[in-house]
Amino acid sequence: MDIKENLLNIKSQLPEHVTLIAVSKTKPINDLMEAYNAGQRVFGENKIQEMADKWEKMPKDIQWHMIGHVQRNKVKYMAEFVDLIHGVDSVKLLKEINKQARKHNRAINCLLQIKIAEEDNKFGLTHTDAKSILVSKELSELENIKIVGLMGMATFTDDMAQVKNEFKFLKSKFDEFKIIKSDNCDLKAISMGMSGDYHLAIDCGSNMVRIGSSIFGARNYD
């Protein structure tokens, strides 16, 4: 598996406005450094401790994205360095991120995760709850976070018509919500699409794709 070749091949297919997140969870630092040396600077992890370990050992010009479900008691381990947290699905989590960001005198960028899939095991806010958060007084008081977009995960299915509908739904909510602007809310990113469906996601309006196995090969779960 040639990580550099895979990466450059994918990048050559992406429109300029689309950010590629190399999903490096479970992968060793050697693999990440191959991608880094090929020019990749944005990496996504789904376990905070693993991400923190890699952050400590790798070059400091990397943007680290937390793409997995976030437990509030783990936020403190990434608050110093995380660039973007994708899976924000509650006001309680936003408050904890704000609290930990304040300790490091920085603002942390966040995406609200909208539940677009039919599967029960997918996390996320309803679109009505997300809108309530965006216009709430509670959000306006959190000075150390910035809501910069939305994230969604489509149903794990071969039915691409269903996936397309879910992506289009998220894009419609993004378009609806992006007129809501404040000091800590300015929606610019829409994170949807993974190795198997990122072309479709981009066609539906995504400007941030999370690609792992197509770059690094199958995940290691030893």
* pTM to 2 decimal places: 0.95
Residue 91 scores a pLDDT above 50 = yes
Q: For the segment 140-169, what is each residue's pLDDT rounded down to a tens digit?
A: 999 999 999 999 999 989 999 999 999 999
pLDDT of residue 222: 47
Domain extent listing, the chain: 3-215
pLDDT at 122: 65
The CATH topology of domain 3-215 is TIM Barrel (3.20.20)
Tokens of 214: 């197509």
